[in-house]
Structure 1
Amino acid sequence: MSVEVKEGVAGKFLEVHLTGKLTKEDYQHFVPLIEQRLKDKGKVRLLVELHDFHGWTAGALWEDMKFDSKHFKDIERLAIVGESKWEQGMATFCKPFTTAKIKYFDKSEAAAATTWIQE
């Protein structure tokens, strides 16, 4: 799995780029970065871009559930940029696990995702 976290234009905006299959170790890499931003800025906005994404290992799924329960109210907006129908379904699936406004964008709409996350 390849994980890259970038700070967006606004201090409370982060981009997370995911490629391949997400592992527990990947969470140990990017969750501390998100949590530090939460500590520094309060609520954050995330743009998650999926490229050639193949889902989660069992350990990663557990880490995701722990993150979601701990940060239920900490994410203001979540933009998911993806390449497939099942990734689009993730946007709907995520809604019960957060108070964030969630929106899916096709990869051809990446610029619109960035605009929406910064509104």
Structure 2
Amino acid sequence: MVHTAHGLSIGLERAGREFFLKLKAVGTLTHDDYKIITPMINSALGEVKHPVVNALIDGSELEGWELRAAWDDLKLGVKHSKEFKKVAIYGNKEWQARMAKIGNWFISGEVQYFENATAAIDWLDE
């Protein structure tokens, strides 16, 4: 049996004086992945009275989403759109840069794309 790695890891990291939420996406995300991911993110952000979140999305190993998972991702982003101050998307694919531009339509904070992880983290710490 062949196993294809896919999923999302979630962590909290610190760069300089700022903490940020780090999400690392791997492979092709599925609706079943979002059944697990969504309650975790909702719970983490729900515990903070007035969350103002900086986030790093590491998409360097992301291949994409199944159609239903893409819809899940959009719903999750819209639900928490006002809670994000800065979202840095680190990746290596042209479509990820376009996704960052589209993300600016749905998130009240800033979304920027980076091909260098250090530059992304430095921007979050500004």
TM-score calculated relative to the size of structure 1: 0.85
User: 1:1-119, aligned counterparts within 5 Å?
Assistant: 1-9=6-14, 13-41=20-48, 42-106=51-115, 109-119=116-126
Measured after TM superposition, the shift of residue 51 of structure 1 is 2.4
8 A contact 1:76–1:100 mirrored in 2? yes
Deviates more, 1:63-72 or 1:34-43: 34-43
Alignment length (residue pairs)? 117
Measured after TM superposition, the shift of residue 45 of structure 1 is 1.3
Measured after TM superposition, the shift of residue 12 of structure 1 is 5.1
- Note the aligned Cα RMSD (angstroms): 1.9
8 A contact 2:18–2:125 mirrored in 1? no
8 A contact 1:12–1:43 mirrored in 2? no
Q: Which one has a larger percent helix, Structure 1 or Structure 2?
A: 1
Higher Cα Rg, which structure: 2
Identity level (%): 30
